[in-house]
Structure 1
Amino acid sequence: MEDKFIDLTVPGPTITPVSKPFWDALSQDEFVVQRCLDCTRWVFYPRNLCPHCWSNQLEWQQASGKARLKTWSIVHRPGHPAWQAVAPYVVAIVELEEGPSMMTHLLVDVKQKLDIGTPLELCLTKVNDRNMPFFRVVD
């Protein structure tokens, strides 16, 4: 299923100095998330300050790549025309095992029955020669 994304020519992510370590790790087939050294809570999306305790002591740490489904939507008409080549597709909010939530693509058939809490696993997927953090249902 992830093969359908490899030749897709779509705008890439906006990489900032704060998010660059995340994207660099993905390019090395690693999934890292920030963790606060003061309150020990995990943080996603990448940022300069911990949203829990306001500390600036955030460190990139290896994450498990495990998640649970929080909610999802089937996209039939993408916001950017280049995504039409793979529509319909499923976008979701997943809760990482470490705690934070993130928006992602689900590598599932749009007709597949999904439930809140469904276990998911990371599946790094090439889009425009860049690894993207997509998820699939755990078998």
Structure 2
Amino acid sequence: MNEQSPTIPVPEPSAVSAPFWNATRERRLTMQRCGDCTRLVWYPRPFCPHCGGWNLRWEQLSGHGLIHAVSVHHRPALPALAERVPYAVVLVDLDEGARIMSNVFGGAPSIGDPVTVTWSALPDGRHLPIFERR
């Protein structure tokens, strides 16, 4: 019997989120920006949650930011994370002004630590954005 390693469940791309997931194939972090109010929009949506505008376009981000909040997990939330404990679930304030939830593996960061995006490969060629300390 051939047992497969457990994997992290990720959402299937929707019509709205497909550009984000396609960019992860090239390890590019992208977000929508509203052409009306100029604010970044995260998570992908069909309209701007800030002003209600429908004029959204995709923009590549630097992937640099600062840790806003940290929760360190010593027990894996999923079997696929069993080999990676302890790991941190973090909120990252990106340099461009948006906040994203992600992970930091390999030791807990502190609030205010500078981080940069790195990538965890998925079986289908997409990647999950995770962060590491700079």
The answer to whether TM tops 0.5 is: yes
Structure 1 segment 114-133 matched on structure 2, within 5 A: 114-128=109-123, 129-133=125-129
Structure 2: gaps of 5 or more residues = none
Q: 1:131 is aligned with what amino acid?
A: H
Q: Which range is displaced more, 34-43 or 128-137?
A: 128-137
* C-alpha distance in 1 between matches for 2:10 and 2:49: 26
Indicate the SS of the match to 1:90: strand
Q: Which has the higher contact order (CA 8 A, sep 6+)?
A: 1
2:71 aligned residue: 73
Q: Deviation digits for residues 81-136 of structure 1, max 9, x if unmatched? A: 232232221110111111111110113324xxx33221111112224353111111
Q: Deviation digits for residues 19-67 of structure 1, max 9, x if unmatched? A: 1110110112211110001111111111111111110111001111111
2:51 aligned residue: 53
Output the aligned Cα RMSD: 1.8
Q: 1:18 pairs with 16, 19, 25, which one?
A: 16
Q: 2:72 is aligned with what amino acid?
A: I
Distance 1:14 1:88, change over 3 A: farther
2:81 aligned residue: 83
* C-alpha distance in 1 between matches for 2:71 and 2:122: 20
Q: Tell me the TM-score normalized by structure 2.
A: 0.85
* C-alpha distance in 2 between matches for 1:88 and 1:13: 24
* C-alpha distance in 2 between matches for 1:133 and 1:20: 15
Structure 1: gaps of 5 or more residues = 1-6
* C-alpha distance in 2 between matches for 1:71 and 1:137: 14
Whether the aligned pair in 2 keeps the contact of 1:8 and 1:127 (CA below 8 Å) is: no
* C-alpha distance in 1 between matches for 2:22 and 2:92: 22
Q: Tell me the TM-score normalized by structure 1.
A: 0.82
Q: 2:42 pairs with 41, 44, 68, which one?
A: 44
